[in-house]
Amino acid sequence: MPALFEPLKLRSLELQHRGWLSPMCQYSCDPDAAPGVPHDWHLMHLGSFAAGGAALLVAEAAAVNAEGRISPRDTGLYNDAQAEAWERITSFVHRHGAAGAKIGAQLAHAGRKASTWWPFSGNHGTVPAADGGWNTVGPSAVAFDGFAVPEAMTTDQIRGVVADFAAAAVRAVDAGFDTVEIHGAHGYLLHQFQSPLTNLRDDEWGGDEAGRNRLMLAVVDAVRAVIPDSMPLLLRISATDWAEGGVDLAASLRLAREAAGRGVDLIDVSSGGAVAHQRITPGPGYQTGFSAAIRKEAGIPTGTVGLLTSAGQAEHAVATGQADAVLIARAALRDPHWWLRAAFELGHDIGWVPQYERALPRRAF
């Protein structure tokens, strides 16, 4: 059996293989009629990947409160209407997915990168209040390039965000998600607190590395406390800021070890996003080394992402111990049946949905 298609068990969650869907924001909610509520587009989007053979779909970032949305068109899990809409999607994935598809919620707060124009709006930067925007918050009153200056959060606001993550996790469980991922990467709020480039505080929520990591780990503790013990908890991090003076791999290793001791079951390893002056040289597998190091030195399962587009690349990452799972994003947008194709190319059968089985004899791939 190809390594990519070996089963993986995290706590009581049994996944048929290690090819997963990475979260991808769709910026498609109706900000006027139903802010933060996923709808038919999200059902179609995620449902297509479930039918296409992904073993685990990590849904797009769901904000834990209204001000935590990346844009006015982002999803949330901060009210019951949103949770009910997500339940329709989780039920669809469970009923109609190939390879016993499971689905995870990604809980997020965008911090100083909130209230922005969505990518296909034709605009850039912070959405003004007249167009549905809002004031943003962050660890310090330092703006991301081209965005509005955020308000430095008070201690009460910080503790409120921790509570919001916990409340969103409860809604995720009630909505039928099989796992929860905390978004601590890509320059969003938890990463903003972690990075010395964006956290200039000198109180308990800043200063040294322990202070900068405090919010991320408080959220881990709060979410772990409210989800079932049988449910795995994932944490997405940026292993490096790709900028001098920022988070580096050594710091991420220390964070990963601490997170593992607090009940995180897998680190979803990405990188970058904290500052605009980052210097990245991307290429196929350019982030797998980070995943491999965290997996080996922190002793925790990892997922890897980033320009892994072919079955051979994904198989190599798992077979060589660089990651326990490979999360596919843009390649899946180009081919929503990426996992069926990958299994065929690697000589394995993961089981097709019955509606598509007529394609099997002709080996359409």
**CA atoms of 158 and 215, how far apart (whole Å):** 8
Give 197-240 pLDDT, tens digit per residue: 999 999 999 999 999 999 999 999 999 999 999 999 999 999 99
188 carries an active-site annotation: yes
Q: What's the CA angle centered on 19, arms 43 and 275, to 5 degrees?
A: 80
Which residue from 108, 211, 107, 112 is spatially nearest to 155, judged by alpha carbons? 211
Q: Which amino acid is residue 100, in one-letter code? A: G
Give 295-339 pLDDT, tens digit per residue: 999 999 999 999 999 999 999 999 999 999 999 999 999 999 999
Give 28-76 pLDDT, tens digit per residue: 999 999 999 999 999 999 999 999 999 999 999 999 999 999 999 999 9
User: Which residues have C-beta within 8 Å of that of residue 349, sequence separation ≥ 6?
Assistant: 343
pLDDT top residue among 276 and 363: 276
Residue 347 has which token pair? 């000589």
Give 69-87 pLDDT, tens digit per residue: 999 999 999 999 999 999 9
CA dihedral 42, 267, 328, 71 (to 10 degrees): 40
Separation of CA 37 from chain center:
18
226 CB-contact burial (10 Å; exposed 0-12 / middle 13-18 / buried 19+): middle
User: Which residues have C-beta within 8 Å of that of residue 110, sequence separation ≥ 6?
Assistant: 61, 63, 68, 69, 70, 74, 116, 136, 188, 189
Domains along the sequence of the chain with CATH: 3-359 (3.20.20.70)
**CA atoms of 247 and 107, how far apart (whole Å):** 21
Give 166-191 pLDDT, tens digit per residue: 999 999 999 999 999 999 999 999 99
Between the alpha carbon of residue 109 and those of residues 42, 138, 161, 177, the distances in Å are: 20, 10, 8, 19
Q: Which amino acid is residue 363, in one-letter code? A: R
pLDDT above 70 covers a percentage of the chain that reads 99
pLDDT at 360: 77
Task: Single out the catalytic residue among 27, 78, 188, 356.
Answer: 188
pLDDT at 122: 96
